[in-house]
Amino acid sequence: MTGHGFPLVVGAALTDDLHRPSRLLAARRRHGALAGWWEFPGGKVEPAEPPLAALARELDEELGLTGVTFGAELPGPDGGWPLPNGSLLRVWWAVTAEVVAPGPDHDEVRWLTAPELLSVPWLEGDLPLVRRLTGVLG
Ligand SMILES: Nc1nc2c([nH]c(=O)n2[C@H]2C[C@H](O)[C@@H](COP(=O)(O)OP(=O)(O)OP(=O)(O)O)O2)c(=O)[nH]1
């Protein structure tokens, strides 16, 4: 929980190289009210679960990734990136040697370079971070 009664949400900025990131993985939600919107793979942290353990669990559940290396967190303005629903999103850089393909929660994944980043409709709460990343990807 964030401390305000809303679950903490964790996401992965999957990239090709932690030191020289040139692309970012975006995933399109398959189900529900947010279907069709693009996001960072991840999800809600369970009570008492360490955030990076939650992120590793979500990447396995959603994308079948078991070999993920995490890098630095992408620090947000408020201990993370506030979401419209009152949750806080915390995002870490991540790399994997495994092939990333859609799983149960997404119907498409796409590797985007900086000029392509805003070519997909991101969830509203992700936009401040995505805009920041356009200046970070080389
Ligand atoms: N995973 C993810 N969720 C995001 C992002 N941006 C954003 O606003 N959200 C919102 C959408 C959801 O309301 C919430 C995350 O919920 P989720 O449905 O992905 O989490 P979960 O896998 O734990 O799902 P569930 O067990 O509740 O079904 O945060 C993002 O970039 N990644």
Q: Which range of residues forms the domain containing residue 54?
A: 8-131
60 membership: H or E segment, kind and range:
helix 51-63
Has residue 1 been placed in a domain? Answer: no
Cα 34 to ligand 1 centroid, rounded to whole Å: 9
What is the pTM assigned to this prediction? 0.96
What is the count of structural domains for the chain? 1
Residue 15 structure tokens = 């990239």
Distance CA 67, CA 21 (A): 18
The CATH number that applies at residue 111 is 3.90.79.10
101, part of any domain? yes
Residues 63, 41: contact at Cβ < 8 Å?
yes
- Residue 73 domain-assigned? yes
Q: Quick check: is 137 in a domain?
A: no
- Whether residue 136 lies inside any domain: the answer is no
Q: How high is the ipTM of this complex?
A: 0.94
- For residue 3, tell me if it sits in a domain: no
Instruction: Report DSSP state, residue 46.
Output: P
pLDDT digits over 56-95, tens only? 999 999 999 999 999 999 999 999 999 999 999 999 999 9
Residues near ligand 1 (Cβ within 6 A): 9, 11, 34, 39-40, 42-44, 58, 83, 85, 87, 89, 123, 125-126
Residue 136 CA, ligand 1 centroid: distance in Å:
24
CA of 29, closest atom in ligand 1: 19
| Four-residue CA torsion sign, 127, 129, 76, 65 | positive
d(CA 7, ligand 1 centre) in Å: 10
- Over residues 86-131, the pLDDT tens digits come to 999 999 999 999 999 999 999 999 999 999 999 999 999 999 999 9
